[in-house]
Chains A and B, each alone.
Chain A
């Protein structure tokens, strides 16, 4: 039994996906299907809300990597918001904050979408 689900919302042209439960190798295809659906409908500004995401494994992180290139080529972005500390730590260990906009609140993420900002590389 899958204990993962994705909710869909829209806000100012941004497609918001609410993740619930645990994202691992078994449930990753569901997130893939959801992202695929967004791309099919031409939504390239995607915000992942992780308020109810309890757990993420490396296979789950792989889903974001699989789609980010295509999304950015199409001029959109995928941002992540409101991760729980434990989940954020997994993102952080792998250096995802360098590759993705990971923001504490949805409002901030939407603001960055509105301003068309993308993650800036740290200057060396």
Chain B
């Protein structure tokens, strides 16, 4: 049976070793067997009294050592790997571990000697001088135990310091740490193999020592300690340095012989590790000492920035513009980077000047305007689109504050979002040169955040405003629709076709018809300047005026003059209404009308070119009354059979095609001539069709109202009137109701 045996990659091995159970299961047998074999090896060489051959020593014993202590390293590595670094804990545990080791080491060295033996001046060497073979069983035990203890201490030390050295983990720092370990181990092995002379030894050690120096200066953790923690660690490094130095003296002094005979490589590695420990502790001590005085300033800065940063989150959670502006001026002061702050936003509605919308912590009884020339500074920052820093604010000509107001330095920062200047933030400090480089940076970043938040809040409120407007417009459209006549009156001899198409927005077109008595009909076609809700209101007002006044004063001059007076009082200054008003008298066969600023009505007679009735007249609401009345020019027309009167609003004339040309009077008159013989209904249809062809799209920019009256044959008048009385009873119920938005036609 063939099985695929795959050798696990480095990462796979590492992942395997991350699991504690696998780790113990794999490594403990290796280490245990290796360690027992090494003890057996030394016992054998003690019994035989002869050293093993060089080959056995190199390939069997050293290989065994490598595997045994490699397994031990991995075991310890696994146990210490996941802990977060803490300098206090590390230094403390190093001190304790060193002292523990020293105590144990001392006890081990006493094995096999009578208690008074140490006092004797003839120490018995435990090893043969030439061969290094242990001479007593005690020496065998001592060398094995000491080697294990030393290895444990050195590995523990390296793994503990690892957390501190790699406090700021980068590829670079990880690499140099790993290379330090590799070169330490490598040089220790080379020392073992070649037993070099002093010169070569120094050369060999220069590489690990260089890397040790490099790693010893990785003390970034110091920055994050408070003053008290620094003091504590200062004491601990002194303790740990003392304990480690003692250990180093012990391992290279009384214990050196034992471990060296056990394994020169291990002994070298342990001494290198301890030396690194001492080196690291010394640099830590010195760094802590030098960092002590700056701790306060550094801590203050960190606190300020942290506060500003934390508060920035708040800014993005406020959506109400007013509250947001207050928050924006409050935060820099609360975070301690400014003494006072205020915010100026441009005012697009009334003054077109920057306006102070919020201020915080101003000197007593002072307004920003009293302290500085807000507009001048605003304009400068708006032009620069960069912050402006006045280090000595009081010397600047735009600063009006006096020394007692406590404005030593002034920082003016633009709030820019989506490349648009939304406002300018002013922050002050009490002293001149009060803003440091990183204060300026922090406030600039803050301003960017604030601008984004302001922009968001604005977009939101714009959207709400839009929705509110849309609702309002919907109401206005409803009002407008109901204001138009729902049903056209019927008079003998007069045919009426009327339509009004509102634009997408609410427009200001209005037409109405009112039967005054059995032979008179008042009509009005009007256009309110502007669109939207106000236009709908003015239409409603005009309807009231028309329905109330025209039965009392049907005469066009009287009616329009009174309407003008009423409207002049109520319309806002920029609003006005153009209108054509008139009265049909079917008994006399006449129409009397007047034009108040409206596009002229058109009279279309069967065998004559269309005629624009350009009567003089001002729009309603433009003049108080005197000029209006004097200029109004009424006109009475005796109607002939087939006469048609066209009333319309400017939507007809000004509708434009894609090339921007408007329909205009020329095209209107041409169309009318082409359909000169048509009835009112077909004329109405043809006109709208021609217009739609011209513009090329069905929707109009403006409202479009078109009312056409047609006068029937006079002789039929009396007959029709007689017949109407009868018909009204029979067909009255089926009379069609006119939809204002669609052409409707009613004939007697």
Partner-B contacts on A (CB < 8 A)? 25, 33, 36-37, 40, 55, 57-59, 61-63, 65-66, 69, 86, 90, 93-96, 98-99, 121-122, 124
Contacts and interface: CB of A to CB of B under 8 A. Distances in A.
B530 A98 contact: no
B368 interface: no
B599 interface: yes
B429 interface: no
Interface in B565-619: 572-576, 578, 597-600, 616-619
A63 B576 contact: no
Interface stretch (B119-127, B482-490, B623-631): B623-631
Contacts of A86: 662, 664
Contact of B597 (A33, A93, A122): A93
17 contacts: A36-B352, A40-B351, A40-B352, A57-B654, A57-B702, A58-B527, A58-B650, A61-B529, A62-B574, A63-B574, A86-B662, A86-B664, A94-B618, A96-B622, A98-B631, A99-B623, A121-B630
Contact of B627 (A33, A62, A93, A98): A98
B531 interface: yes
Interface size class of B (residues with CB under 8 A): 20 to 34
Interface of B: 351-352, 508, 527, 529-531, 572-576, 578, 597-600, 616-619, 622-623, 627, 630-631, 650, 654, 662, 664, 702
In this complex, the member of B508, B600, B622, B650 whose beta carbon has the largest number of chain A beta carbons within 10 angstroms is: B622
Given A58-B576, A122-B631, A124-B630, A65 B622 contact: yes
B630 A94 contact: no
A18 to B, nearest CB: 20
A86 B664 CA distance: 9
Grouping DSSP codes into helix (H, G, I), strand (E, B) and loop, the B interface class, with mixed when no group exceeds half, is: loop
A62 B352 CA distance: 21
A95 B622 CA distance: 9
In this complex, the member of A61, A63, A69, A94 whose beta carbon has the largest number of chain B beta carbons within 10 angstroms is: A94
B575 A62 contact: yes
Nearest to A22: B660
A36 to B, nearest CB: 7
Nearest to A24: B701
A95 B619 contact: yes
B20 to A, nearest CB: 69
B352 A95 contact: no
A58 B622 contact: no
Contacts of B352: 33, 36-37, 40
Nearest to A65: B574
Nearest to B614: A93
A53 to B, nearest CB: 14
Contacts of A62: 529-530, 574-576
A121 B623 CA distance: 12
Contacts of A59: 529-531
A94 B617 CA distance: 7
Contacts of A124: 630
Given A65-B576, A66-B573, A99-B618, 15 more contacts: A25-B531, A40-B351, A55-B662, A57-B702, A58-B578, A59-B529, A61-B529, A65-B573, A93-B598, A93-B600, A94-B597, A94-B618, A94-B622, A95-B617, A95-B618
Nearest to A63: B574
A82 to B, nearest CB: 20
A123 to B, nearest CB: 8
Contacts of B616: 95
A69 B617 CA distance: 20
Contacts of A95: 597, 616-619, 622, 631
A30 to B, nearest CB: 11
